[in-house]
Amino acid sequence: MNTLELKIPPVAVFLIVALMMSYIAKNMQFAHLGIPFSQLIFLVCFIIASFIALSGVREFRKVNTTVNPVRPETASTIVDSGIFGFTRNPMYLGLFIFLFGIGCWLQNGISLLMSFSFIWYMNGYQIKPEEAALEKLFGAEYMAYKQRVRRWL
């Protein structure tokens, strides 16, 4: 097991990436983009991200299973209803969309690209270890779910 796997809560990763994006935008102004309607894009991303992420939390709460991302082995069931019929990771997808919106609002090309580092980190250090734990816990049922529903979109 890698030392970073399941160690940093996804919301903390989100905050770290958002702060890095802001720092980059302020200190690397050569990468400024003139994105029209950047505030509107940010607002739309925020609304979509909130809907997707909160839909995921609501589905977890409906079936009374854990929303703790650093302890996937405590899951009590596979949630495949609602938004989980479209994406296996709606909360992480919501956080990424929000970061993408922040990148547009900052109007900095490097910051915008930095939002994609969240996907890289989450795939390697959060999602793959979660999937391994869920495969061990639920076996063929989880494997079938992985075949039916994509990781992100």
Digit-coded pLDDT (tens) for 89-124: 999 999 999 999 999 999 999 999 999 999 999 999
Q: How far apart are CA 84 and CA 67, in angstroms?
A: 14
* 29-57 pLDDT tens trace: 999 999 999 999 999 999 999 999 999 99
Start-to-end CA distance of the chain, whole Å, equals 27
Nearest to 80 by CA among 66, 60, 94: 60
Q: Where are the alpha helices (DSSP H) in 28-153?
A: 38-62, 90-106, 109-122, 128-138, 140-148
Q: What is the pTM of this model?
A: 0.96
